[in-house]
Chain A
């Protein structure tokens, strides 16, 4: 087991390196360099720049160097000047470059938001698992009943609705029917207030919409998988044996069948994380949440590529860690898995 985890960690490191390279390519993709953008921005503000100034900017960002050297500088802070090698800053030391838009270091901007994104994703994951398992087991044990059809219809709708549309509809519902203020994390009168029980309740009141919306498509999909798996297992002979022994239907379902039907779900756990983070990006934008989504999309629209690149790489790394966790969990739950 230990060896298996170590090997997986090794693979993950290799993948992270490639992810960083790809992330850097994306940073450099937009036509025109970031210095050109910066120069254009300064000119738009009325200042005129001397050619020497522009040249200095080019040198400072190392744009006169070949791409691989720029990548090394950006990633591990290795710079080569006329054969002299020096280290300073770089992605791995927490220096992610500078956001042009906010004119500040990227790492000052992202940590709070990244934390909130992960919090929302985790809560949605828990929500969608609890709901999906409940709905899946119910519709499998009450096959072809009216609630089963109802759940099936809901699943189809959940799968075919863009997450931002569901967010908009729920917001309309909350504002028009529940008369609740929506959007953001706090109501306006609590934003600057010190922490209190009332503020906490206000936070909970604002969190349910994002959690439902982010989890929705995952729930729909997971509950379909759960239903199909459980139906499969319920047809097996050992389940029949359990019934023949005189066990109650509840014990048969939960203790015998359910345990064998949950494995495929854990297997797709890692695969469902990208969907959660993708959904979060859009939903946060619609709901005006202070998470990575709005900042990221805004950075892309403004071609603020250091900021966008840092987010993209962090989200990818978070996913890789999540996948590793899911695989370890699966290996732990299912003794039949071999650590090849």
Chain B
């Protein structure tokens, strides 16, 4: 499948500088191949930027993510102007008022172009907790006036800031895949290696288990396991639930890694270097950890990088169904619960923005995963 990626230009400057390629370690070669892959670099840099944005999300967003504004229910994105009502030049946001729509008898937010409020940077706003431990009321930008707020991407059904919520939701959605993959690496490596190394009964049991788990359709199985988690209460916080959701996600996805590792380990077992280690009297643990796992490590990295997108999509789907992340935490999936009805989306299209964030993140992770695979094993299809 490497062909789907932009062809790698041959003989880059880095390679020409180093005359003796034979002196480079395997990891240096992999890194060089990876750096040459443009899509992979786009994915890497894009992800770094996104992680910075979401982790500083409370500070970057002009409002506290759960602040409800009764006067801005389903209000659209704020409109900006470069000239204030007093004729001065600067960045201003138009004021808004709530008026009763005579046709639908609902209150709607309307832009009042006669009022302009200057946008200030590093301004005092709602009290927030940045990165979970820095208490501050400083925001990157805002109006400084709690009655007139900025909504970059509009507001949801109870007037909460969609922009800040998308950033804060990313803190969950963009970590759930990483933690889940970490857990499935641990589970998959142990069981896959044991299965391939010890063979016999252990192998049979593990292989049948994998077969059974993979014979369930993924999302229904995830949903069933998530439904079995206790509801959020005093002793079981939303954060505990978040960790158990990652466990649920990794419960299904370790099987792929275990299968591939088993095949690798079986191949290494008959290789000369392992036979030599066995003949020299190496213990099982030494053979596995010193001789086999380092050889398989690049393979483990590739498989886990390719598994991250599926986990992010899984969390999004579960939370969308109401079985994943629960309030007070937010994730992209739980934000999308607002957009279950077509009529709502048509009237307020900005509530789909968390979905865009999901697509971009998964896309970047796919670029990254494909790039790592091509760099580690350039001859795979």
Contact, CB under 8 Å: A281 / B381: no
Known: A316-B215, A323-B215. A15 touches B223 (CB 8 A): no
Contact, CB under 8 Å: B219 / A282: yes
Bound Cα distance A223, B339 (Å): 30
Contact, CB under 8 Å: B316 / A162: yes
Contact, CB under 8 Å: A300 / B4: no
Is the CB of A175 closer than 8 A to any CB of chain B?
A: yes
- Say whether chain A's binding surface is mostly helix, strand, loop, or mixed: helix
Is the CB of A182 closer than 8 A to any CB of chain B?
A: yes
Contact, CB under 8 Å: B323 / A300: yes
Is the CB of A212 closer than 8 A to any CB of chain B?
A: no
Contact, CB under 8 Å: A312 / B359: no
Contact, CB under 8 Å: A157 / B215: no
Is the CB of A231 closer than 8 A to any CB of chain B?
A: yes
Min CB–CB distance B21 → chain A (angstroms): 26
Which of B226, B230, B355 is the one whose CB lies under 8 Å from A31? B230
Q: Which chain A residues lie closer than 8 Å to B218 at the CB level?
A: 274-275, 278
Which residue of A172, A296, A320 has the most chain B CB atoms within 10 A of its CB atom? Answer: A172
Is the CB of B309 closer than 8 A to any CB of chain A?
A: yes
Contact, CB under 8 Å: A312 / B345: no
Contact, CB under 8 Å: B342 / A30: no
Which of A31, A155, A168, A274 is the one whose CB lies under 8 Å from B345? A168
> How many A residues touch B, CB cutoff 8 Å?
61
Is the CB of A303 closer than 8 A to any CB of chain B?
A: yes
Bound Cα distance A232, B214 (Å): 29
Q: Which chain A residues lie closer than 8 Å to B208 at the CB level?
A: 14-15, 18
Q: Which chain A residues lie closer than 8 Å to B220 at the CB level?
A: 277-278, 281, 296, 311-312, 315
Contact, CB under 8 Å: B346 / A172: yes
Contact, CB under 8 Å: A168 / B346: no
Contact, CB under 8 Å: A162 / B323: no
Which residue of B214, B223, B320 has the most chain A CB atoms within 10 A of its CB atom? Answer: B223
Q: Which chain B residues lie closer than 8 Å to A176 at the CB level?
A: 346
Contact, CB under 8 Å: A15 / B211: yes
Which A residues, 264 to 299, have Cβ-Cβ distances below 8 Å to chain B? Answer: 273-275, 277-279, 281-282, 285-286, 296-297
Is the CB of A224 closer than 8 A to any CB of chain B?
A: yes
Contact, CB under 8 Å: B346 / A231: no
Interface string of A305-340 (1 = CB under 8 A from B): 000110110011001100100000000000000000
Which residue of B216, B322, B339 has the most chain A CB atoms within 10 A of its CB atom? Answer: B216
Interface string of B202-215 (1 = CB under 8 A from A): 00000010011011
Is the CB of B276 closer than 8 A to any CB of chain A?
A: no
Is the CB of A106 closer than 8 A to any CB of chain B?
A: no
Is the CB of A156 closer than 8 A to any CB of chain B?
A: yes
Which of A143, A232, A277 is the one whose CB lies under 8 Å from B381? A232
Contact, CB under 8 Å: A316 / B313: no
Is the CB of B9 closer than 8 A to any CB of chain A?
A: no
Contact, CB under 8 Å: B216 / A172: no
Is the CB of A26 closer than 8 A to any CB of chain B?
A: yes
Q: Which chain A residues lie closer than 8 Å to B217 at the CB level?
A: 273-275, 277-278, 281, 315-316, 319
Interface string of B326-348 (1 = CB under 8 A from A): 00000001001001101001100
Is the CB of A161 closer than 8 A to any CB of chain B?
A: yes
Contact, CB under 8 Å: A22 / B212: yes
Contact, CB under 8 Å: A162 / B317: yes
Is the CB of B224 closer than 8 A to any CB of chain A?
A: yes
Considering the complex of A and B, which 9 residue pairs feature the smallest CB-CB distances, nearest first?
A29-B228, A160-B362, A278-B219, A300-B227, A277-B217, A160-B363, A274-B217, A165-B355, A278-B217
Q: Which chain B residues have a beta carbon within 8 Å of chain A's beta carbons?
A: 1-4, 7, 208, 211-212, 214-221, 223-228, 230, 309, 313, 316-317, 320-323, 333, 336, 339-340, 342, 345-346, 352, 355, 358-359, 362-363, 366, 381
18 A-B pairs within 8 Å (CB atoms) are namely A15-B208, A19-B215, A29-B228, A31-B230, A161-B355, A165-B352, A168-B342, A175-B346, A274-B214, A275-B218, A278-B218, A282-B321, A297-B223, A300-B226, A315-B220, A319-B216, A320-B215, A323-B215
Q: Which chain A residues have a beta carbon within 8 Å of chain B's beta carbons?
A: 14-15, 18-19, 22, 26, 29-31, 143-144, 152, 155-157, 159-165, 168-169, 171-172, 175-176, 182-183, 224-225, 227-229, 231-232, 273-275, 277-279, 281-282, 285-286, 296-297, 300-301, 303, 308-309, 311-312, 315-316, 319-320, 323
